[in-house]
């Protein structure tokens, strides 16, 4: 039986895309397992869990897409781990919310600055394109939101301001040079 060349090409393309999707989903599950640590001991895990689900969908899509999307999403996720996990670490170190709650937004702000600096530094070093920046920013914000939303809107706002402030400095310096 002779199979048309076009049919073989379609089968190969389908197998390739299915393989890329499996690869992306395996890495996404591992990333979500790491992000789920931020939900341990969370008094209200609803909002952060929704952010984790959005992070999973975003990562899977970017990794499946590949290229600049995948590189940006990987960097954004790694940068977003600081604001994702630091609030959970602070919660684990304190016994009462009375001493903890006032400090979480500042922790989110500092972690956001670190994440923004990392994304900007790496993005400028590799002369990234728009897709890279969009994926990196999206993954960093979603990963950070998983942890910082546990501190309420002040934590989320602090993380977002930190990301912007951290990323703005290196980008402005690079543009001025």
Q: What is the pLDDT of the chain when averaged over all its residues? A: 86
Residues with Cβ within 8 Å of residue 43, at least 6 apart in sequence: 97, 150
Q: At what angle do helices 67-93 and 46-65 cross, to 10 degrees?
A: 150
Helix (H/G/I), strand (E/B), else coil: 2: coil
Number of structural domains found in the chain: 1
Structure tokens at 109: 């702000």
Task: Determine the Cα–Cα distance for residues 100 and 92; give it in Å rounded to an integer.
Answer: 10
pLDDT by residue (tens digit) across 17-35?
889 899 999 999 998 888 8
Domain that holds residue 73: 5-176
**Is residue 55 within 8 Å of 36, Cβ to Cβ?**
no
Q: How confident is the model at residue 173 (pLDDT cuts 50, 70, 90)?
A: confident
């Amino acid at each position: 039986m002779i199979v048309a060349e076009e049919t073989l090409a379609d089968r190969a393309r389908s197998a390739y895309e299915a393989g890329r999707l499996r690869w992306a989903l395996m890495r996404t599950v591992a990333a979500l397992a790491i992000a789920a640590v931020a939900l341990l001991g969370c008094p209200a895990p609803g909002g952060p869990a929704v952010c984790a689900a959005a992070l999973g969908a975003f990562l899977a899509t970017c990794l499946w897409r590949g290229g600049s999307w995948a590189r940006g999403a990987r960097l954004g996720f790694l940068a977003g781990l600081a604001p994702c996990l630091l609030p959970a670490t602070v919660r684990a170190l304190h016994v009462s919310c009375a001493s903890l709650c006032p400090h979480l937004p500042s922790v989110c702000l500092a972690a956001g600055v670190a994440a923004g600096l990392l994304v900007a530094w790496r993005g400028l070093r590799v002369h990234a394109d728009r897709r890279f920046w969009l994926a990196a920013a999206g993954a960093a914000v979603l990963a950070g939101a998983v942890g910082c939303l546990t501190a309420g809107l002040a934590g989320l706002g602090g993380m977002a301001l930190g990301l912007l402030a951290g990323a703005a400095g290196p980008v402005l310096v690079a543009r001025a040079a």
